[in-house]
Amino acid sequence: MGRFVNPDNSAFQVALNAEIYLDKTGLIAYANRVLDTPDAYICNSRPRRFGKSYAANMLAAYYSRGTDSEKMFADLDIGKTPLFRTHLNRYDVIHIDVQWFRSYADGNIVSVITESVMEELRDIYPDILPSEVASLPDALSRVREKTGRKFVIIIDEWDVLIRDASADTKIQNEYISFLRGLFKGVEPTKYIALAYLTGILPIKKEKTQSALNNFNEFTMLSPGPLAPFIGFTEDEVQRLCSTYHRDFGEVKRWYNGYLLNGQQIYNPRAVVSVMQRQEFRSYWSETASYDAIVPLINMDYDGLKTAVIEMLSGASVKVNTATFKNDTANINSKDDVLTYLIHLGYLGYDQRERTASVPNEEIRQELTTAVESKPWNEMLLFQQESDKLLDATLDRDCAAVAKQIEKIHNEYTSVIQYHNENSLSSVLTIAYLSAMQYYFKPVRELPTGRGFADFVYIPKPEYRSDYPALIVELKWNQKAQTALQQIKEKQYPDSVLDYTGDILLVGINYDKKTKEHQCLIERYEKK
């Protein structure tokens, strides 16, 4: 056994020792099905803290000839499959953590990785790999030719050089060339049984094509059958909530929102933390990505700042993910930035609607912190205006509400042209940005007794004694009174009857002829 070639199973044992461990060995079952086929080249990208390294350690523990893992896996899901023992600890495994190498490598990181792996391979195969064999692909080919053995190659944090060394084109080109030599062509198909790359970004594109186009990519945009194996599923979170006596509704509000292949997927770090610590807050630790994303937002491609404000307010925005080159050096549009944020986990993505949104309360707080961590005067000024709007609403100052909505539209959301009620809705979503400090993401078109309310704002538990729930109805070229009457007639307050605090009914109309907003606000009298 070695550090990088045929490692033992101790890294995965650490995961098994944890108080909370969820069985994700379905990933092994998938790998076994595609082993030694054209589909055995996998790049599985997810945001940080999603359990990517656990998965890589698990695969290494299962396949490595350098250890005995039968007892470790026998009682897990993979132990119940027909191919369990067929592939258990049967392969020469090369397991590389690029981030670890980068942390200490002084020179060319590709050379350091190559030399470290080659040293261990020579110890295993001294007769096959004399000192003059210096190329890793050549070494693997020679081993396969002489022994018939194929390799499982696992690369964790495969993209760290793409993300963190974006300005160093020399080292990036050397690294991509290294990966191509290792994985592309006829010869690698002879010595590779499985190639598994994991990181935050998909494989870098050159023009419109992946630099490693023989890989199947499973991403935040298109996770395919691997969706449930990285991160926690909603069923798994519900079971944990039952075990630890946590309010699933609160967990869902705080930590859900990643829709992967039709399944709600949760960040494991957040879920485990709230189970163990009993505190609903952000567990998203600070990263260098703040420094990366804020300058991009400040460039304001194609109205990007407005889109960010809109999403922070609870709305979704359209995004074309096809233009992103899967690196940070070639970002030059709003869609590129939004796609990058999806891969980082700052935004959720709806495959069917092709829209991006802030997925949950945890990420809303973190994204707000990110954009406030660097100067963004427009954001600060906008928040002040939004604060005035919220205060006027809570004070039931209808004239001030109408005035603030008009001001916010004219000065901050002019990119949204008034054409219909939907455009009014878009402006209102942004206008109430400051409400997100005290309220959960607004529920749009919440089913009620006899219809759908346009907006329903429910205060967070810690603010319920001081902030009323808000039910907002919008009208176009009608009257604010009409909006208010609809709230009452269709019994919209029924949607929040379980809410014990005060409820305000807010009717807003825009008159296209006069170009004026009108507002009426009433306190709901509970029966």
Total residues found in the chain within this entry: 527
Question: Does residue 30 sit in the same domain as residue 159?
Answer: yes
Rounded to the nearest integer, the mean pLDDT of the chain is 89
CA dihedral 270, 273, 275, 277 (to 10 degrees): -140
Q: 351, 375, 399 — which closes off a domain? A: 375
- The answer on pLDDT for 59 being more than 50 is yes
What average pLDDT does this structure show over 206-223?
86
Task: Collapse the DSSP code of 130 into the 3-class scheme (helix H, G, I; strand E, B; otherwise coil) and give the result.
Answer: coil
Domain presence at residue 296: yes
What are the CA-CA distances from residue 357 to residues 48, 361, 367 (Å)? 18, 12, 11
Per residue in 375-387, pLDDT (tens digit) is 666 777 788 889 9
Phi, psi for residue 356 in degrees, rounded to 5: -115, 150
- The answer on pLDDT for 193 being more than 50 is yes
- The answer on pLDDT for 292 being more than 90 is no
Q: 212, 242, 277 — which closes off a domain? A: 277
Domain extent for 247: 232-277
The upper half-sphere exposure of residue 187, i.e. CA atoms within 13 Å in the direction of its Cβ, equals 13
Question: What confidence tier does 450 reach under pLDDT thresholds 50, 70, 90?
Answer: very low
Phi, psi for residue 362 in degrees, rounded to 5: -55, -50
Domain presence at residue 282: no
Provide the pLDDT for residue 519: 95
Question: Does residue 263 sit in the same domain as residue 156?
Answer: no
Question: Does residue 136 sit in the same domain as residue 24?
Answer: yes
Domain presence at residue 3: no
Provide the pLDDT for residue 413: 65
- The answer on pLDDT for 372 being more than 80 is no
Please state the domain count of the chain.
4
What average pLDDT does this structure show over 161-166?
78
- The answer on pLDDT for 347 being more than 50 is yes
CATH code, 444: 3.40.1350
- The answer on pLDDT for 452 being more than 70 is no
Question: Does residue 262 sit in the same domain as residue 323?
Answer: no
Question: Does residue 173 sit in the same domain as residue 32?
Answer: yes
Domain presence at residue 1: no
Question: Does residue 107 sit in the same domain as residue 209?
Answer: yes
Domain presence at residue 384: yes
Provide the pLDDT for residue 56: 98
Question: Does residue 212 sit in the same domain as residue 255?
Answer: no
Cβ neighbors of 248 (< 8 A, separation 6 or more) are: 237, 238, 241
- The answer on pLDDT for 270 being more than 90 is yes
Per residue in 118-161, pLDDT (tens digit) is 999 999 999 999 988 889 999 999 999 999 999 999 999 999 98
Task: Collapse the DSSP code of 453 into the 3-class scheme (helix H, G, I; strand E, B; otherwise coil) and give the result.
Answer: strand
pLDDT: is 429 or 270 the higher one? 270
Question: What confidence tier does 421 reach under pLDDT thresholds 50, 70, 90?
Answer: low
- The answer on pLDDT for 301 being more than 80 is yes
Domain presence at residue 284: no
- pTM higher than 0.75: yes
Question: Does residue 139 sit in the same domain as residue 240?
Answer: no
Supply angle C-alpha 473, 475, 476, rounded to 5: 160
CATH code, 22: 3.40.50
Question: Does residue 204 sit in the same domain as residue 316?
Answer: no
Question: Does residue 362 sit in the same domain as residue 394?
Answer: no
Question: Does residue 108 sit in the same domain as residue 193?
Answer: yes
Question: Does residue 203 sit in the same domain as residue 344?
Answer: no
| Cβ neighbour number for residue 380 with a 10 Å cutoff | 11
- The answer on pLDDT for 370 being more than 80 is no
- The answer on pLDDT for 302 being more than 90 is no
Domain presence at residue 146: yes
Domain presence at residue 318: yes
Q: In this structure, which amino acid lies at residue 190? A: K
